[in-house]
Structure 1
Amino acid sequence: MGISRKKVHEEIADLIMEDIRKGILNPGDKLPSISSMAESHQVSSASVREALNTLRVMDVIEVKHGQGSYVKERMPLGFEYEFEIITRKDIENLLGLRKIIEVGCAELACTHAGEDDLVKLYGALEKMQTAVMNNELGEQADYEFHISIAESTGNQMLVDLLDDVSEKMLETMKETRRIWLYEEKKSIRRIHEEHKAIYEAIRKKDIEGAKEAMLTHLNGVESVLLEHHK
């Protein structure tokens, strides 16, 4: 059976992920060659390459130079058998905590952030932009941006609170970016724009604008993650 014309590479990626979920492909297994998959799905090699690149960025497969593509040994959170790592309740609790802390941090940053803090925030923004250009997720730069806002408040306890949940923050940041990249509900570029709006409000010392921009961003993250973990 051929692949539908709509979003061909996504259809191929879906089929590969389904084979992984069903155990037809297991962690560490080598995928069929590009030409073989193109022939079996009756699509172009370019579409298969695009599908594989999408799965690579999502951290589902790895490409070994000169050897081919392999299923990663550890699957991302979006796979059913790993939902226990971060549950729906975990997401609700984490984003609830982040809204309380980070909206307040954005407010304080407007009155406490110095020039060095703004330079650091802008640097994180540039790293996110570079990730977009390189077709990468950029979750490390994302985390750096948010923790830098907390640091700019001058309140170490706020920094420590975020640091205590840093592992789950990074996992949810990575998962959100995978979902937006794969399902195209939003693009990675849109995430960058949301962070830029937060930065600009802090730079202008616009307290209400900073609070609103931060809350809008976190609400969006929560919505996408909860939708994906139904």
Structure 2
Amino acid sequence: MKDELRLGGEPARGTGSTTLADKIYDDILHLILHKPLPEGSRLPTEAQFCQMYAVSRTVVREALSRLKIDGIVTSRRGQGSMVLRRPNAGVLDYPEIGSIATMQRLFEFRQVIEAEITYFAATRHNAEEFARIRAAHDAVQDALSQGHPGIEEDRLFHLAIAEAAHNAFLCSALASAGPQFIKSIEFARSLSGKISPQRIAKVCEEHEAIVEAIQQRDPEAARHAMNEHLTRTRTRVFLEE
């Protein structure tokens, strides 16, 4: 199991590919941040985007749909698309992000997989595995309290939970993300560290809720705690608060 969960090595196949919709998604984020466009500002029309990128309305609508799902853009009948909430400007400062759209989808993937992994970890862990989870959680807190990003400690925390799930298929799915998994942790930590100690405290609280639910062998609470943690992490990373 541990060998399967070596979250690094070769990149997952296809994770580096960028579609036209991804490019438009990323470009709209840059437009909102660098124009800059405040909340409530109107974006170019679908027809204008089609002309700008020489693409069909289907491609433009896919990009706008993703931005709506991510809480950045909204649309109103007769008024077109408008900025609902400005993204975190720090996402554009991270040198290895690649496609912002791809990173968004990676967080979605992690939510789906890790919520279920945590569910099973709550029901199947043994005393030794829980001790590793608790120790990994403590290591994250210690690193953050000393001003370190805690990237490796965070990876080991999530890895310890995955090992306690005793499901090779779920673990293989998580491992398939390869270095992209590590990149998502680095990305979240770099932005959280830049912003405020309060956000770091929130991360520790969210981890504690996960650990407590696993300890109580409450799978529903564990799943919910992990889902909430990754949802809030994604919000902290991509949106201004």
Same fold at TM > 0.5: yes
On the 8 A contact 1:91/1:226 being kept in 2, the answer is no
1:123 equivalent in alignment to 2:135: yes
Residue 134 of structure 1 is aligned with which of 140, 143, 146? 146
Q: State the SS of the aligned residue for 2:149.
A: coil
- Stretch of structure 1 that moved more, 116-125 or 159-168: 159-168
Superposed displacement of residue 82, structure 1: 3.0
Count of aligned residue pairs for this structure pair: 151
Segments of 5+ residues of structure 1 without an aligned counterpart are: 1-76
1:95 equivalent in structure 2: 107
Q: TM-score, normalised by structure 1?
A: 0.60
Superposed displacement of residue 86, structure 1: 3.3
1:104 equivalent in alignment to 2:116: yes
Residue 204 of structure 1 is aligned with which of 197, 202, 216? 216
Change (3 A) 1:214 1:81: closer
1:144 equivalent in alignment to 2:156: yes
1:82 equivalent in alignment to 2:116: no
CA distance in 1, matches of 2:172, 2:190: 27
1:178 equivalent in structure 2: 190
CA distance in 2, matches of 1:200, 1:161: 25
1:194 equivalent in structure 2: 206
Q: State the SS of the aligned residue for 1:136.
A: coil
2:121 maps to amino acid: A
Q: State the SS of the aligned residue for 1:130.
A: helix
Superposed displacement of residue 214, structure 1: 0.6
2:232 equivalent in structure 1: 220
CA distance in 2, matches of 1:216, 1:115: 25
CA distance in 1, matches of 2:93, 2:118: 35
Superposed displacement of residue 184, structure 1: 2.1
Change (3 A) 1:78 1:111: same
1:156 maps to amino acid: A
On the 8 A contact 2:113/2:170 being kept in 1, the answer is yes
Change (3 A) 1:166 1:200: farther
On the 8 A contact 2:213/2:219 being kept in 1, the answer is yes
Root-mean-square deviation (Å)? 2.1
On the 8 A contact 1:132/1:138 being kept in 2, the answer is yes
Superposed displacement of residue 166, structure 1: 3.6
Q: TM-score, normalised by structure 2?
A: 0.57
Change (3 A) 1:81 1:187: closer
Kindly provide the CA deviation profile for residues 71-129 of structure 1, in whole angstroms up to 9, marking residues without a partner as x. Answer: xxxxxx8554836x432211221111111111111111111111111011011011112
On the 8 A contact 1:180/1:186 being kept in 2, the answer is no
Kindly provide the CA deviation profile for residues 139-176 of structure 1, in whole angstroms up to 9, marking residues without a partner as x. Answer: 11111111211111111222222222141222221221
2:24 equivalent in structure 1: none
CA distance in 1, matches of 2:188, 2:94: 18
1:193 maps to amino acid: E
Residue 168 of structure 2 is aligned with which of 146, 150, 156? 156
On the 8 A contact 1:88/1:226 being kept in 2, the answer is no
Segments of 5+ residues of structure 2 without an aligned counterpart are: 1-89
